[in-house]
Every structure is written in C-alpha cells, then in structure tokens.
Amino acid sequence: MSNPEVVDARGTRCPVPVVRVARAARSLAPGEVVVLLADDEAARSDVPAWARMRGHGLTVEDDGTWTRYTVRVAGTTSDGSGEARST
C-alpha cells in the first residue's frame, strides 16, 4: 500500500483510461491498490461504473485539472474485508 502502482492516463480519451486501469487491476492481488490519473470527462462516469461492476473499492479526488481514482482491487483480503469475485 505504501507505493501503489500509478497509471497516468492524462491526455487520453474514453475508453482508454478505464481500459488501462482495468489492465493494471488485472495483475493485482485482492486488496492491492492502483491509482489512476485521468482528465477525460467520460472517466468520471466510467471508472466508478466499472468499479461497481467489478466490486472494486474506489475513492475519487479532484486534483487540479485532473482526477485521481484510487482503486482497491476486489477479493478476499488478509484483513478479511471484501468478497472474493472472479473477473
């Protein structure tokens, strides 16, 4: 958690940001975190909708002209939170 993977998708447009964060999340273990930076307007709807469909945890923070999406990958974690979910 101290050094989460960061996907910088600033300057790319729909559906690239959500595709890139999905690809990054694919290789992570349940409970691990990936951060997406994006400035595409469609990502504001699409990243939360994707996280909801996949069961990932998500926090969204505006950071100037872009948005920071912190995704916690779904599945059973060491502390027991979350649920196992196949993708």
Q: Using the rule CB under 8 A, is 45 a contact of other proteins?
A: yes
Stretch that binds other proteins, among 38-46, 55-63, 67-75, 77-85 (CB under 8 A): 38-46
The token pair that represents 81 in the structure block:
């939170």
Is residue 71 classed exposed, middle or buried when 0-12, 13-18 and 19+ CB atoms within 10 A define those classes? buried
State the catalytic residue, choosing from 10, 12, 14, 60: 14
Q: Using the rule CB under 8 A, is 34 a contact of other proteins?
A: no
Determine contact, residues 40/11, Cβ cutoff 8 Å. no
State whether residue 70 is helix, strand or coil. strand
Site residues, other proteins (CB under 8 A): 13-15, 18-19, 22-23, 26, 40-42, 44-46, 48-50, 53, 87
Question: Which residue numbers are catalytic?
Answer: 14
